[in-house]
Chains A and B, each alone.
Chain A
Amino acid sequence: MKWNSIILVAGLLIAGLLVAGCVSGDAPAVPDATPVPTAAPAPEELRIATTTSLYDTGLLDHLTPAFEEQYNAKLLIVSAGTGKALEYGQRGDVDVMMVHDRAREDTFIAEGNGVERRVIAYNYFVIVGPESDPAGIRGTEPEEAFQTLMTEGKAGTPGVVFVSRGDASGTHAKEKAIWKAAGYDYATDVQNSGDWYVEAGTGMGATLVMANEKEAYTLSDIGTFLAYKGDLQLVPLVDSGDILLNIYSTMLINPEKHEGIDTELGKAWINYLISDEVQQEIKTFGVEEYGQPLFFPASGKWDLMGVSEAEVSAPVV
């Protein structure tokens, strides 16, 4: 009898998992029908989904200890591409999101998924490539550089290869924006335009390594590039131009959409990030190691970034 009941339980569990999996696969966006009272999160934990560049550069690990101590909090930071982070946010798996893709953030907020966006930092993307620069883009405007790359690449000029992230990350979104500004339709003109355009489908670090091996061009955030610089022969070729601006924001997941979002601690975290002391920390982070800062503080630069003053400095209440 005991034997039978063990088998029964095991069978039910597996059957249950399978059924549940099918249901969830068919209708992933259906929120919980019944609120469960035990679902209240542990008060000291805050779940954050962040874009990789903020985490992999070590910035967040640098900023979190002081916050955790001050608020008796434990930050659970998941580092993922912006696309993945937005997905986590939409499903309510995290309390706070840190991303860098203004266009998709706007949609996300417009759909009611996110609230209280604040800009915390910015820097610039860089177009990097081999020292020899066979396409001759050094010092040009980003849009012009992409046009040149397209022309030379399609013409088959030796050594002109561009490696794209190709992974729906913030950097990839930026790349697509530049192609658009340069006058191309990404899906028809750029993708499948020839062997010169390589879609890596991987993280920034791996993309840089691939570009380095192929002696190719790529678009990178400055933080990851500096972190990898020691192992690379690639050099920055284009590093100025408005379109290369890279704006990092943080926002709260809309508590009205999902049960149990830790709003209070989330607000505290956002306010902590835009506080003067943290902004000062951002300014100096990485200078010692790389000889230049990886990020610029957003504080007071709302005009430069083209965002509202409130988004930079108004505390969340």
Chain B
Amino acid sequence: MLKLRDITKRFGDTDVLRGVSAEIQKGEIFTIIGPSGAGKSTLLRIIDFLDTPTSGSVIFGGRDITSEGSIEVRRRMGMVFQKSATFNTTVFENVAIGLRFRGVPETDVRKKITEALEIVGLTGFEERKAKTLSGGEMQRVALARVLVTNPDLLLLDEPTANLDPVSVEMIEDLIKKINRDFGITILMSTHDMVQGQRLAHRIGVMMNGIFSQIGTPREIFSAPHDRYVARFVGIENIIEGTITAKEGGLATIEADGTLLYAISPLTERTHVHLFLRPEDIALSCTGEHATSVRNVLPGKVVEITPMGPLNHLILDCGVELIAVITWKATEELGIRVGSEICASFKASAVHVVER
């Protein structure tokens, strides 16, 4: 329903978008994840023609709307912003404003607002001053405001960025509900990759003004296209190496003098990046491990950093590895900085991409 073709945007000397192409399917939730400043908001604004692209085109419902974006087209979309915008009036009037613009009769306005407020869980808030609401409530008002206009496409620009965890959960549930119950296509940006994963049917990872990778959450999180995507989706071990031998699907990779094994279709002498999640690394003091585990690397603990219920360990096993382990296991194994340790992981846990 929405096609983006090679969209670029230049602000002064800065290229914010450098050729964005994507296709959003009817009825899906598509999240754009990426670090702050990657161009997510700019892209959403261009789709709603709040900004005009420097080049490229937006095709909505089969029509190129880039140059002739009319109010009729815009009225088929709805947008919610990161910073909740509430008008200085009652909740009712806040939700009504889009309907008033469209000249909807007052009786329909009342009916639709009652329904929308029920959906967002703000029944009875009609006469409250919108400015007195909490951030989460304001964002729900904003959702109700676009919901009543019954858009084909809903654009959400980091809708939960400034909210407390309880409100975030409520808004996420609402987004899922709106998509499921009303079939509204949702294009949403977030810098929170886990949120992107939770909500999305598909994810686009935006890095430096382009989509580095578009795919299902599973594809993105298990098989990132490049080291930047890998880093952004939380893969902390990124190792440079070269394939030195190939035996069936099993590749032997030499990295900094250490030999590692991984499953890969790539051929010998290919320079590669290895992506390995810290959770996939098992630790032992004895060097014992399951036979299916190909990679067994002895090494030393360099640094221990507590993170939530886990400790992050930096290991020197010829290559630097980051592993996680619970506090309790840390104590039981007697791990401290300088401890001799053995790290092991399966060949299938390593994702190999050409560099």
Direct contact of A and B (CB under 8 A): no
Tell me the A residues contacting B by CB distance below 8 Å.
none
Tell me the B residues contacting A by CB distance below 8 Å.
none
